[in-house]
Amino acid sequence: MSIRHAAVAAVVAALAGLASADVTSETQNFSFPLSPGGTTLNFAQFDTQGGTRELCKVSFSFDALIGANVTAENDSTLPAPNFAINLSGFITIDVGNPAVLSGFAGINQVAGAGVGPSDGVADSGPDFHDFGFLSDDASGMDMTTLLADFVQFIGAGTVPVDIDASAGFSVSGSTDSTINVTDLAASGSVTITYEYKVVPAPASVALLGLGGLVAGRRRR
């Protein structure tokens, strides 16, 4: 290999070392009452640090839980051996404005108990059951590699993440019943991850190129 080719190879190797892949992420928690309900989180945009970092991929993931404290009472004169509470709902998460990343998860949970016929006394007795905290959780993720979508993720500002959820309870197994729901809410966390590569600043490229030329000249 000639001295000139060796110098060029050294510069290329140095540049390759600078162009390494890396990730940075941010996680925020949320919690709000239902139903329905929602909130907006604001995540930091990707900082290119003066053009020395190039964004390659944006992704997000989430974990969510919807639940409430539930009690129910059989108001029928007939026993209800299959007395049950049904929880159903959903949560949606949109990243960006307009949204370029979206997540959706359904919530479903059933809890059963056998109760007797109505005894005429509210909130107690064999016709009454405390189901405690009834809940269901879900998770999901989405990502984008479209360069056109990166515009709103790059800068020194924020990216909005809109979270909406809704849920409800119903009773089955009885022709007449009373349900009491308290503290119905959604909670969880959202994580946004930026995958990027480190690139040399123009000054670094010039210095590396000059160093290679100087090394070549000295060996002639």
- Each residue of 152-191: pLDDT tens digit? 999 999 999 999 999 999 999 999 999 999 999 999 999 9
Q: The tokens 């984008």 sit on which residue?
A: 144
What integer pLDDT is reported at residue 217 of this predicted model? 53
- 124 vs 127: CA distance, rounded Å: 7
Structure tokens at 211: 């160093």
What integer pLDDT is reported at residue 209 of this predicted model? 52
Most distant CA pair in the chain, distance: 106
What integer pLDDT is reported at residue 14 of this predicted model? 43
How confident is the prediction for the chain on average, in pLDDT? 87
What integer pLDDT is reported at residue 214 of this predicted model? 47
Give, rounded to a whole angstrom, the gap between the first and last alpha carbons of the chain: 14
pTM for the full predicted model: 0.81
- 194 vs 29: CA distance, rounded Å: 18
- 12 vs 208: CA distance, rounded Å: 9
Taking residues 37-52, what's their average pLDDT?
96
Taking residues 54-83, what's their average pLDDT?
96
Beta bridge partners of 169: 87
Is pLDDT at 210 greater than 80 in this prediction?
A: no
Taking residues 3-19, what's their average pLDDT?
42
Taking residues 8-32, what's their average pLDDT?
68
Is pLDDT at 52 greater than 70 in this prediction?
A: yes
pLDDT above 70: percentage of residues in the chain: 82
Q: How far is CA 192 from CA 45, 93, 145, 174, in A?
A: 10, 12, 14, 46
Q: The tokens 């108001």 sit on which residue?
A: 75
